[in-house]
Amino acid sequence: MVMGMKAVRLHGIADLRYEDIEAPGAPPPGHVRVRIKAAGVCGSDLHNFRTGQWISRTPSTPGHEFAAEVVAAGEGVPWPPGTLVVADSRVGCGTCPACRAGEANLCAKLGFVGEVCDGGFAEEALLPAAQLLPVPAGTPPEVAALAEPLAVALHGLKRLAAPKGAPLLVMGCRAIGGLAAFAAGLRHEGPLYVADRNAERAALVAQASHATAIALDDPSLPAFRHALEATGSGAALTGLLPRLGAGARVAMVGLFHGPVSLDANMLVEREISLVGCHAFADELPEAIALAAANASALRALITPDVPLGELPGVYERLLRGEAPSLKTLVRP
Ligand SMILES: [Zn+2]
Ligand SMILES: [Zn+2]
């Protein structure tokens, strides 16, 4: 008998459906069948819904930021049922120089869970064990599901490489910026500033990160040497440049929706470095440990319990900018 399950699937641009589909069967060798416990909605999910940029197969079940419980493990996988796991969202080719160097985020053929294979916006999923990592027992699933975006935030901070004690600015307080500020608040020993057009969101992140929320046009601010750009807004980026000191370094984490025009001489004459940061490299285990160790503080930043069937409506609300917290998670 074929068992059914609920899933939310993308059928094309702006066509997301809550529907009954076939549940995964017994896992083949090296694979795991999991029950999804919590799954976060990512800006990239919204971007793909709106533009179709990364649709490589339809219909597909999106969702790469999830925590799930092992239901059954295929031959060769040692995890007992009930083990909590999260996904490594990156699906590299495995053979190119970047993949072999452990930098699958730079693979020319890089795809993501939820695009090239079905992801977490469903009751269950079937994935290769190599695409999953176990989480410490007792970690709340909705916090474990933050590990993937937290890994992206940690990668940005690593690429920024701000020395301890140096003033650090985080631009943008949605998920990646907010989590970067949170992680910097835990480990960076210098003054930490956060900025966001939404003052409420900036205040929430500032409080959780022991940071100061600022308005970038405040003339009393110091010139920054280290900034993490997580807005993906051309206006925010060009507004940031005059606030930077000579020799500044900006880690670029936000995804932009088109070309940005800027005065390149501002970079040349003041030796300003813009450093691209894509997904994450080897930061996921560190992110899992960090999430598990700071569960209650992270839980205060999220909207954790949206029913799966409400997801199409949630997409619409998030696209209108109505985000009540850093991250909205569904609970199938
Ligand atoms: Zn994501
Ligand atoms: Zn590759």
The whole-model pTM stands at 0.96
Ligand nearest to the CA of 87: 1
pLDDT number for residue 221: 87
Give the Å distance between the CA of 151 and the centre of ligand 1.
10
The CA distance from 313 to 331, in Å, is: 15
Rounded to 5 degrees, φ, ψ at 106 are -105, 10
Residue written as tokens 């000579």? Answer: 246
Residue written as tokens 């790469």? Answer: 64
Give the Å distance between the CA of 159 and the centre of ligand 2.
21
Percent of the chain with pLDDT over 90: 89
Q: pLDDT category, 102, cuts 50, 70, 90?
A: confident
Whether the bond between 59 and the residue before it is cis, its omega within 30 degrees of 0, is: yes
Longest Cα pair distance anywhere in the chain, in angstroms? 69
Name the packing angle between helices 284-293 and 147-160 (round to 10°).
110
Residue written as tokens 């839980």? Answer: 299
Q: Name beta bridge partners: 51.
A: none
The three-class DSSP label of residue 308 is: helix
Mean pLDDT for all residues in the chain: 95
Span 85-93, mean pLDDT? 95
pLDDT number for residue 96: 95
The CA distance from 15 to 258, in Å, is: 23
Give the Å distance between the CA of 25 and the centre of ligand 2.
29
Ligand nearest to the CA of 45: 1
Rounded to 5 degrees, φ, ψ at 267 are -80, -45
The three-class DSSP label of residue 272 is: coil
Q: Is the pLDDT of residue 131 over 60?
A: yes
The CA distance from 99 to 141, in Å, is: 29
CA distances from 131 to 7, 89, 142, 143 (A): 20, 7, 19, 19
CA distances from 67 to 11, 43, 145, 267, 315 (A): 24, 18, 5, 41, 20
Give the Å distance between the CA of 1 and the centre of ligand 1.
35
Ligand nearest to the CA of 91: 2
Give the Å distance between the CA of 297 and the centre of ligand 2.
36
Q: Is the pLDDT of residue 324 over 80?
A: no
Residue written as tokens 């009954």? Answer: 20
Give the Å distance between the CA of 205 and the centre of ligand 2.
35
Span 232-261, mean pLDDT? 95
Same fold: 4-134+301-330 with 153-276? no
Give the Å distance between the CA of 153 and the centre of ligand 2.
22
Span 262-278, mean pLDDT? 96
Superfamily per CATH, domain 153-276? NAD(P)-binding Rossmann-like Domain (3.40.50.720)
- The tokens describing 53, both together, are 């940029």
Q: Show me where the domains of the chain are located.
A: 4-134+301-330, 153-276
Ligand nearest to the CA of 175: 1
Range list of β-strands (E), the chain = 4-12, 15-22, 31-40, 65-73, 84-87, 90-91, 111-112, 124-128, 132-134, 168-171, 192-195, 212-213, 224-229, 244-252, 273-276, 302-306, 327-330
Separation of CA 231 from chain center: 13
Q: pLDDT category, 307, cuts 50, 70, 90?
A: very high
pLDDT number for residue 2: 60
Q: May I ask the CATH architecture of the domain 4-134+301-330?
A: Alpha-Beta Complex (3.90)
pLDDT number for residue 218: 87
Rounded to 5 degrees, φ, ψ at 17 are -125, 135
